[in-house]
Structure 1
Amino acid sequence: MLGEGVQRRDVFFDVTSGSKTAVSRPGMKKLLEHAESGDTVVVWRVDRLGRSLIDVLNTVNLLRDRGVAVKSISDGIDPATSTGRLMLNMLATLAEYERELITERVNAGIAAAKQSGTRFGRPPADPAVIAEKLQVVQEARARGRTATEAAKLVGWSRATFYRHQGAAR
């Protein structure tokens, strides 16, 4: 036994990049396959359950939804106790705050990029190329092809053909 009632056969770990979410890691996948309702996952520190606060909370919630308790030895987080539940609720609040900060930063970055002239989305198409393709599609339609068949001749979908046809009018 390793302590806290954990046996060596019940130890799961990952040695992988920190960019992967917890549930996409092989060790966590094995743990999720192995853990059953009523089990307790014991970790040294709660941050071992994910790469970020949001990932940790998502992992804890996933385990709790499956009826699996989480106990963190050094953090004192044990959902069976009132203090442990308080700590998890504090983590949830901090994770929500982290999500909001990320959203604010992304939006500020997009606004700054737009202000400096960065264009988002597809690059603008050359009107001459569109006109040529439109002519090919319209000629194919005149020869009896369906809109879908004709549009595919130039690499368009039927909707793209209709959009360009409407814009040309």
Structure 2
Amino acid sequence: MIIGYARTSTTDQKAGLEAQERDLRAAGVERIFQEQISATGPRKAFADALDYVRDGDTLIVTKLDRLARSVADLVEITKQLEAKGASLRVLNLNLDTETPTGKLMLNLLGSIAQFERELMLERQREGIAKAKSEGKYKGRKPTAKAKMEDVLRLVENGLSREQVAKELGIGVASVYRVLASARS
């Protein structure tokens, strides 16, 4: 069976998801698992797709970045597929892991993709550092510190740390930090 996986990072990318679905159907995919979620968190539809795959099946994605977050992630996914007797195809690269060349190319391209991502993150850090030095980048406003008086008042009224956090929409760790800084 040919199984497809489509993913976009946000729900705003409806056209991207539709394009992936169209390309997967054109490649003969019989069952598509899709989701609109960041690759950094848990991906339920992807986990379901891996669980669904059986011996002799092929998992198809339109692009490598829709599948794996890093080379280590890619290696783990391909190991899971191989353990089930399944293969992987990446449409935009015309890559198929049923062949030795396909396996080699997958590892090379995964390494290149991770290298590009690390370069992008490095440039981003440099840009933030430059903006900070020019006074243009302030970062996120500290939400818990802005609510310090409310935290102290609610704790004095007998609410637990967890209740204070829920009431104010901040993390429990933030409540503890506010209390620690108030004691200092």
Alignment TM-score, normalising by the size of structure 1: 0.53
Would the alpha carbon gap of residues 131 and 84 (structure 1) be closer, same or farther in structure 2, given more than 3 Å must change? closer
1:34 match: 52
Structure 2 residue runs without a partner (length 5+): 3-26, 169-173
1:87 match: 105
Choose which of 48, 55, 62 in structure 2 pairs with 1:48: 62
Deviation of residue 158 (structure 1)? 4.5
Rg larger in 1 or in 2?
A: 1
**Contact persistence 2:95–2:105 (CA under 8 A):** yes
User: What does the per-residue CA deviation read over 1:99-150, in whole Å, with 9 as the maximum and x for residues that have no partner?
Assistant: 2122112212211221221222434957xx968986x689x5xxxx87957x
Question: RMSD across aligned C-alpha pairs, in angstroms?
Answer: 4.8
Alignment TM-score, normalising by the size of structure 2: 0.50
Q: As a proportion of its length, which structure holds more strand?
A: 2
> Across the two proteins, how many residue pairs are aligned to each other?
144
User: What does the per-residue CA deviation read over 1:34-54, in whole Å, with 9 as the maximum and x for residues that have no partner?
Assistant: 212x333164xxx60454585
Identity %, equivalent residues: 20
Highest relative contact order (Cα 8 Å, sep 6+), 1 or 2? 2
Worse-superposed segment, 101-110 or 155-164? 155-164
Would the alpha carbon gap of residues 137 and 78 (structure 1) be closer, same or farther in structure 2, given more than 3 Å must change? closer
Choose which of 95, 111, 117 in structure 2 pairs with 1:77: 95
Secondary structure of the residue aligned to 1:106 is helix
Deviation of residue 61 (structure 1)? 4.2
Secondary structure of the residue aligned to 2:179 is helix
Give the letter for the 2:56 counterpart.
D
Secondary structure of the residue aligned to 1:120 is coil
Does 2:139 match 1:120? Answer: yes
1:12 match: 31
